[in-house]
């Protein structure tokens, strides 16, 4: 995704949101000149494939990630928008430069990003995405680091 101002190919995402089911609007910031520009990317062209624990492969769904972050941050006092949090998660996913990624990798990255934003949101996301029907798992998670 070349910068429209200087042609530099490296940019970071500052805000991502899906439009209907067919495209993603991303605000990007050029890592060379610092200017911001907007891209409209079709979901079909998104190369990232997600594999879950049952080995089912499906295209990365921004909508799914956005809704889970929205749910996790709903009741909390958050300084960032849902779109900003999602963009940060995407940046870390893209930085892995892999075409195929496991659901568990996305969850791990999302937890790291949420931990920096709000620990209660992090916990909500954790309980939503991991099998933690026993309290020990939650307590171990809260005590980590």
- The distance of closest approach from Cβ of residue 36 to Zn ion in the complex, given in angstroms and rounded to an integer, is 9
Query: How is residue 28 written in tokens?
Result: 């990007």
Give the bridge partners for 28, in sequence order.
Answer: 13, 37
Provide the 8-state DSSP code for 4: T
Residues between 22 and 41 with contacts to Zn ion, criterion CB under 5 A: 30, 32-33
Q: In what order do the strands lie in the sheet with 57-59?
A: 57-59, 49-51, 100-102
Judged by CB under 5 A, does residue 19 bind Zn ion? no
| Nearer to Zn ion among residue 6 and residue 96 (C-beta) | 6
Sign of CA dihedral 49, 45, 66, 79: positive
Residues 101-130 that bind Zn ion (CB under 5 A): none
Counting contacts by CB under 5 A, is residue 6 touching Zn ion? yes
Interacting residues with Zn ion (CB under 5 A): 3, 5-6, 8, 30, 32-33
């Amino acid at each position: 995704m070349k910068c429209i101002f200087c042609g530099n190919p490296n940019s970071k995402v500052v805000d991502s949101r899906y439009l209907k089911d067919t495209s993603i609007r991303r605000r990007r910031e050029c890592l060379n000149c610092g200017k911001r520009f907007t891209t409209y990317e079709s979901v079909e062209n998104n190369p990232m494939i997600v594999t879950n624990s049952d080995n089912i492969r499906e295209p990365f769904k921004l909508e799914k990630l956005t809704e889970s972050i929205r749910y996790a941050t709903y009741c909390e006092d958050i300084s960032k928008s849902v779109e900003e949090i999602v963009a940060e998660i995407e940046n870390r996913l893209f930085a892995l430069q892999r075409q195929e990624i496991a659901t568990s990798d996305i969850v791990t990255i999302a937890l790291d990003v949420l931990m920096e934003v709000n620990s209660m949101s992090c916990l909500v996301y954790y309980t939503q995405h991991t099998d933690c029907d026993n309290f020990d798992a939650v307590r171990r998670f809260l005590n980590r680091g």
